[in-house]
Structure 1
């Protein structure tokens, strides 16, 4: 396997995707919203809200906290109402939304790489290159997965800084990140990035336009929304153990989808669709 050829394909795909504003628009907007605006909003809000309003907002959370694992309940012990609000919203409710970034970005890049090139008539030269089918496949997958993961980690770093600065007036210390975030970012995030591209590869053989592929693979965001709803209702709370289990399940799904994608990725069929 020629890794020089694989990286050359990946670099070419990334260069082309940078010219697609549909791909880079969400990649820039979503991190800005999640990493900067949201932590500032939820840190400033309790500092300007009346205590009565915070108590009303946290009324149902008392019941929710009782259903949480003891290790999570201990995090909230001894905190003021304002601190509980910031911690709950910033450290827990926003956590699943970070999975949208790797999922969406890898789906967009994958759709542009596998379908967009075919739509723009720029894939022909690549298909007739000396690279093998596997090298071509891996190059395109890496072009989607690696930037998606790096973007998520960079956003996470910015989020840590902004969340601590914005809420320092309340906590008087650096309190974020919590232990639950490490497996979320370094175990679950790569799994979702691979899920996005593997699903895109499968649907790319059945669609003819970039937007069709993007919309179909983008429907996977429903999985993230399910985690958000589950956490908000207390049905599924993303503690360390839960994150590891969910991540393992997603990695298994990834392995199955990649296996099917490799089997279906045939240069001859791609040439026939040009």
Structure 2
């Protein structure tokens, strides 16, 4: 099973990193420059000391995974290669998890590469002879939340791509979902009565960073499990061929 999953992963990663990848080389370079050089240079030591950086590292993998996962099944359908893939000896779970893990590895791998470049930038421009690194709780959050955030995008993306008739349709649905995920909580909190906002702020401000990170990881892990379970139920060879 692991060999079959790796076979699918390798094929998907090769397609994602070829010259025609969906993000485009300019987009990848811009992302690496922004989160690896520009923002760390501008924010200084707060880039590694402030928990607010967790917000950045939860967003980045969402967009990167979304850029490739929409093609996972919708692209095969457009290229008329889905039937060939489904007729292969590969087990259902190998196809599903191979595509899901490839999108996750692509998005999270580039996110962590930007993270490392950012650490180099911080130490070069703001280190002043000392090695700067994330506090343990923030480091745990950056790694865990970025991984699970990417998993959330991969799970949702595979589920959408299984149903979408085209890559464009899948990309649009996922883009709208990401925008809603970011903006609805922001504007929703602002719409709450002032007393509710104050009460919620008092609860959250009483948490330490470790507690907040563990809660976020737990919530994301549950959401990942739900989406992956839904994708496993949706992935049925006969239905996909009929579609």
1:220 aligns with 2:178: yes
Q: 1:220 deviation in Å?
A: 2.4
1:21 aligns with 2:25: no
Q: 1:222 deviation in Å?
A: 4.5
Q: 1:136 deviation in Å?
A: 1.0
User: Residue 174 of structure 1 aligns to a residue in which SS?
Assistant: coil
Q: Take 1:264 and 1:152, find their aligned partners in 2: how far apart are those partners?
A: 29
CA 1:89/1:187 → structure 2, altered by over 3 Å: closer, same or farther? closer
Q: Take 2:238 and 2:80, find their aligned partners in 1: how far apart are those partners?
A: 16
Could you tell me which of 219, 228, 235 is aligned with 1:258? 228
Matches within 5 A, 1:123-202: 123-169=82-128, 173-202=130-159
Q: Greater CA deviation, 33-42 or 253-262? A: 33-42
CA 1:152/1:228 → structure 2, altered by over 3 Å: closer, same or farther? farther
Q: 1:32 deviation in Å?
A: 2.0
TM-score where L is the length of structure 1: 0.72
Match of 1:240 in 2: 210
Contact 1:119 1:208 in 2 (8 A): yes
Q: Give the superposed CA RMSD.
A: 2.8
Q: 1:225 deviation in Å?
A: 5.9
TM-score where L is the length of structure 2: 0.80
Q: Which runs of 5+ in 1 are unaligned?
A: 44-85
Q: 1:92 deviation in Å?
A: 3.8
Q: 1:255 deviation in Å?
A: 0.5
Contact 2:22 2:68 in 1 (8 A): no
Contact 1:100 1:221 in 2 (8 A): no
CA 1:247/1:104 → structure 2, altered by over 3 Å: closer, same or farther? same
CA 1:212/1:29 → structure 2, altered by over 3 Å: closer, same or farther? farther
Per-residue deviation, residues 46-69 of structure 1 (Å, max 9, x unmatched) = xxxxxxxxxxxxxxxxxxxxxxxx
Q: Take 2:152 and 2:125, find their aligned partners in 1: how far apart are those partners?
A: 33
User: Residue 136 of structure 2 aligns to a residue in which SS?
Assistant: coil
Contact 2:72 2:158 in 1 (8 A): no
Q: 1:221 deviation in Å?
A: 4.9
Q: Which runs of 5+ in 2 are unaligned?
A: 190-197
